[in-house]
Amino acid sequence: MIPTLPFGRTGHESTRAIFGAAAFWETPQKDVDATMDLILQNGINHVDTAASYGKSEQLLGDWIRRHGKPFFLATKTDQRAKQAAYDQIRRSLDLLHIAQVDMIQIHALHEEPDWTTAFGAGGVIEAVVQARDEGLARFIGVTGHGVPVPEFHLRSLAQFDFDAVLLPYNYVMMQNPRYAENFNKVLAVCKERNIAAQTIKGITRSPWNDVQQNRTTWYRPLENQADIDLALHWIFGNPQVFLNTAGDINILPRTLEAAHRFTTRPTDEQMKEMTERLKMEPLFT
């Protein structure tokens, strides 16, 4: 059974593996339908998508139109100005065939100009608050990538009472002292204020470098079941965090298998051995 955890102060008990619907970027509808069957069979009750994930909202929305929404659903806006973001949120709801999304997230807020615009007059913060006030969204989150993102999240949390954050987390990434220090500061704030902490890039092996890309993820993922087990169990060994699954439907079954099997966190020695054996590299430096 995949473990669950209260999703911050939302009142929802989410599976710690959250389905990342970036995997539906350009997926045939029949494969989307089969994947949705798979996640529900495995008890996944939380799905995360975004307006900028190709056709994800449209494809997921077609499934929702036929089957309803038996899960907590989050999407994201990548617009920084109020009106553009509000219009995008309305479009997302139309594509998803829903009147209200459980959570709207400000997408990839990890660069200075974007951050300044987002929190300024007429910025996206005003749009997501309006959407919540109008009943278009229940909760508000913020996401980001890269080494500086925990620092941006700390600033964002000081400015606004977000319900959730999302940022990278894996063993290799946490060997960066700057990233690890600030990631742990974010988790401390989240714990104090009951904010959900979502993580991404959990089964990253490295950039593609000179390897022929054979997956729909923009990075090279782990593929061997035993390696995925180690990576995911290391993440689940932190009892505060969720893991958003990687953007490849063909790797998803192995990720779900690993989530079902979680018992304890692997040792540092096990993680170091895998890192060296696979020549793992951080995506962000």
pTM: 0.98
Asked whether the predicted pLDDT for residue 2 surpasses 90, the reply is: yes
41 contacts 68 by C-beta, under 8 angstroms: no
Rounded Cα distance, 258 and 232, in Å: 7
- The number of helix segments (H) and strand segments (E) in the chain equals 10, 12
Going by C-beta distance under 8 Å and a sequence separation of 6 or more, which residues neighbour residue 247? 20, 22, 23, 25, 216, 217, 218
| pLDDT-derived band at 21, boundaries 50, 70, 90 | very high
Rounded average pLDDT over 124-132: 98
pLDDT bucket at 27, cuts 50 / 70 / 90: very high
**Domains of the chain: residue spans and CATH:** 4-277 (3.20.20.100)
Q: What's the distance, CA 228 to chain centroid?
A: 17
Mean pLDDT within 92-121: 98
- Average pLDDT value for residue range 184-213: 96
**Contact indicator for 127, 164 with CB cutoff of 8 Å:** no
Under the banding of pLDDT at 50, 70 and 90, the label for residue 142 is: very high
CA gap 178, 36 in Å, rounded:
38
How far apart are alpha carbons 235 and 201 in whole angstroms?
A: 11
The single residue listed with the structure tokens 């793992």 is: 280
Q: How confident is the model at residue 240 (pLDDT cuts 50, 70, 90)?
A: very high
Inform me whether the pLDDT recorded for 210 exceeds 90.
no
Length of the chain: 285
Report which of 159, 150, 248, 154 is spatially closest to residue 199, judged by C-alpha positions.
Answer: 150
Strand residue runs (E) in the chain:
4-6, 13-15, 17-20, 46-48, 72-77, 101-106, 137-143, 164-168, 196-200, 204-206, 220-221, 241-244
